[in-house]
Structure 1
Amino acid sequence: MLALIVSVLATAAAPQPTIVQKPIPFPRARKTQMAAYSKRHYGIDSYRLREPKVIVEHYTVTETFQQTYNTFAPNNPDPELKELPGTCAHYVIDRDGTIYQLVPRSIMCRHTVGLNYTSFGIEHVGMSDGDVMGNKRQLAASLRLTRWLRCRYGIATKDVIGHSESLSSPFHTERVERLKQQTHGDMTRATMKKYRAQLGAC
């Protein structure tokens, strides 16, 4: 009962932003591949995202939302790691501040090696950290979405991270030896320090 009250209060303090549903195909075959990936990398035989503890911020290295959608929708092996299922993110925030949801929050997405089993992925249409932080509408939408997710799921502010911070997360887990140090450079620690400072409390 207490947990329910806390959840209601948190939701009231951080209301859900407007989210446009734009689902990518995630049929049974892709779910089966996600479960197999999860088993290989985390020892978890499931595609379900349960009790998420981390939110990972990214930028897309694309100019438009549609280009990003077209990257995630086909279930093709990713060009970097050559694995299935294809990469994806739960949310994409466009340059105009529109928030799109591509994948249900109950399903794992391949967006961050070592953290997919316990994290939401949020992509921002843009080419750099500066693109995201310098776009007032996009940044405001990002903070609203992240605050709502953080408060709804009880995720600590320190566990809202940039992709570049993935290896330092206490939740980072990777069973495949060649990927234990794999990460990307988007949303650096310096950028995320500024971002986290703007998140506010629940």
Structure 2
Amino acid sequence: MKTRAIMVSAIIGAIVASCGPKIIDEPIVFNNERSELTLDYMQEHYNLDVEEPTIIPKMVVVHWTAIPSFQKSLDAFYDVYLPNFRTAISGAGNLNVSSQFLVDQDGTIYRLMPETTMARHVIGLNHCAIGIENVGGPDLPLTDAQLKSNIKLIKYLKKKYPIDYVIGHYEYQLFEGHELWLEQDEGYRTVKTDPNVEFMTSIREALTNLDLKPLPEK
């Protein structure tokens, strides 16, 4: 009976995976050095003393890269250390920014790192958030193909993990004071506009059947 149960579980898992979006693995560097920097970040910013830099995803945060190409966007996340020119956030640690997913202008979805490994992409919430970066920004509008891919990807993630919230990066400060907000540095904040209100409105209209929680009100 136990063997049969394992087989049934494997079949169900395969069916769920086959119904999800096509995802191409394009890993960034995540070596021991980056792992240690991530653990240091989790300790300093979230007061989390853990052995592995893993998360239990409770939210998805949607971004744009503000970089005009897939390759340059990938390059921005690839290395372990934050570049010197990122002065607005450099005081909060040497760990480079990253994201679990990157969606190109044609809608192709790339997975840059394991879904349950912590990425640095949103202040105060990285410990529970999966990031979806989209190639584009104010000078390169996000596309319908990206919108469709984001919707498919979020639905896929919701099936796998206990996702309660889907937010745009510009909405992250609504969570100050929320139980998920763990940021220890009261001076560490940035003002964000990505991925814009229109894009998030369209995403939410397509996710009304997912039983997501409403955002906190300020």
User: Which category describes the TM-score, using the shorter chain as reference length?
Assistant: 0.7 to 0.9
Amino acid corresponding to residue 162 of structure 1 in structure 2:
G
* Contact 1:58–1:162 (8 Å) recurs in 2: yes
TM-score normalised by the chain length of structure 2? 0.79
What whole-Å deviation, never above 9, does each CA across 1:5-50 have from its counterpart, x for those lacking one?
A: 9xx69x7499321100100010001100100011000011235333
Q: How does 1:116-155 map to 2 (within 5 A)?
A: 116-128=126-138, 131-132=141-142, 135-155=143-163
Offset, 1:105: 1.3
Q: Matched residue pairs, number? A: 192
Q: How does 1:11-160 map to 2 (within 5 A)?
A: 12=16, 15-46=19-50, 47-78=52-83, 79=86, 80-82=88-90, 83-128=93-138, 131-132=141-142, 135-156=143-164, 159-160=165-166
Q: Which runs of 5+ in 1 are unaligned?
A: none
CA distance in structure 2 between the partners assigned to 1:129 and 1:165 by the alignment = 21
CA distance in structure 1 between the partners assigned to 2:20 and 2:161 by the alignment = 12
Q: Which runs of 5+ in 2 are unaligned?
A: 211-218
CA 1:13–1:22: 2 relative to 1, 3 Å:
closer
Offset, 1:136: 1.8
Offset, 1:67: 0.4
Q: Give the equivalent residue in structure 2 for 1:175.
A: 184
Residue 164 (str. 1) matches residue 180 (str. 2): no
CA distance in structure 1 between the partners assigned to 2:150 and 2:156 by the alignment = 10
Task: Indicate the SS of the match to 1:87.
Answer: coil
* Contact 1:77–1:84 (8 Å) recurs in 2: yes
Offset, 1:119: 0.3
Task: Indicate the SS of the match to 2:132.
Answer: strand
Offset, 1:194: 2.9
Q: CA RMSD in A?
A: 2.6
Residue 201 (str. 1) matches residue 194 (str. 2): no
